[in-house]
Structure 1
């Protein structure tokens, strides 16, 4: 199940997991046509897909989506929590409304998705969050709140990994750098020049790491945050 799987990194992760042999559920909020495209790509691999509209800031919607997914497929083995928003603004201009929106989706929503998925996850399953390299590297102007929310996810994962270790469930956090998605289109050209590789990531590159963390081979890794950002120096 990929929370926020209709486009960008989430859609790439959904496609890759299908290629690896998984049936995949994706949630979306505002892009039903993109969700349908992702489901089409999943089904092109020969696997089954299901799109569910669910706002990651709404606990009831998250709970209903997970219940629907398990009822539909019979089990849940992997949960990828990708839903997030980026609202830029320096310390003088960030509104309380924008602060609350980012905390609601990027922190509270991530916790609720993990909590709800974990209750239905098979023992030995995988939980993977999509964070940001800004959690460990200095951010760029206007990114202080966004970076704070992603740092919170990195710490959250460490604690939840301990909570779920007894069930053999691993919990890890992937921290991409600049990646070509709808969310980054307005500032990607400027930021990618700070990378030694002088480019941004393709979502499929991040999805490859998701596939590894979801695999049996990663079973000894939990509570970790893995940064994949082209050596970005900020």
Structure 2
């Protein structure tokens, strides 16, 4: 059984999709949880109400990962509330896919700001407040390893950079027992990428490309994050772990 009692967690981008599933899974395993949201306070508050229904403390912080310094300020707010951060999860994301001749520097910068810079800033802010044995997890993507569709240049590049960042941080923080990993989901049933063919005309073809023949569920990705944050995951660090149903097999 995964046991996270007396742990505190901050989930950047925890108001929806995989991030919300992670926040709720950590709470149900015993952690107090703060989440960040970019725009919808109502949506974030719904997640926090479920955290509290699980018997844990929770609160939401407005922080747009696109804004420089926002995730660092969110860490400080979480520390102010909880006194520490044991588990940091960076789950904010954007999917910007287009042919390279349609892309520009602004779109490149926005993708890298959300996927890479915000992860770096959150980790830098959290480490001084993290006790030895803490956990840092970034949510990457299977597209960080394969680019099997046109138009993925900046998305794939940013997710590959996340994996590189976590490897370097794992080496740097390993002496303190702090583990740092990337979890790479494949196609996962969220509002951004629904499995319902009526809402997503690509979903049937994508499901057929997965070894298990179906989309993943956010809760399945969240279960892996909770494992990494538990005592069972202490030997795993510096890794990019695919939770992709065989998408990259």
So what's the TM-score if we normalise by structure 1?
Answer: 0.95
For residues 14-163 of structure 1, the aligned pairs below 5 Å read 14-163=23-172
**1:216: which partner in 2?**
231
Greater CA drift, 92-101 or 40-49: 92-101
- Superposition deviation, residue 198 in structure 1: 2.2
Structure 1 portions without partners, runs of 5+: none
What residue ranges of structure 2 are gaps of 5+ in the alignment? 1-9, 195-199
1:2 pairs, out of 11, 19, 34, with 11
1:193 Cα offset (Å): 2.6
Deviations 1:172-203 (A, max 9, x none): 11000001112224444442231132211110
Q: In 2, Cα distance between the equivalents of 1:19 and 1:189? A: 32
- Match of 1:122, SS? coil
Q: Deviations over 1:53-111 (max 9, x none)?
A: 01113343222211111111122100001111111101222232211110111111111
- Say if 1:5 and 1:195 are closer, same or farther in 2 by CA, change over 3 A: same
Distance 1:179 1:45 in 2: 24
Whether the 8 Å CA contact 2:76–2:125 is kept in 1: the answer is no
Give the total of aligned pairs: 234
- Which of structure 1's runs of 4+ aligned residues deviate more than 4 A? none
Once residues 153 and 206 of structure 2 are traced to their aligned partners in structure 1, the CA distance between those partners, rounded to angstroms, is: 15
Give the alignment of 1:165-180 within 5 angstroms. 165-180=174-189
The alignment partner of 1:183 has SS state of coil
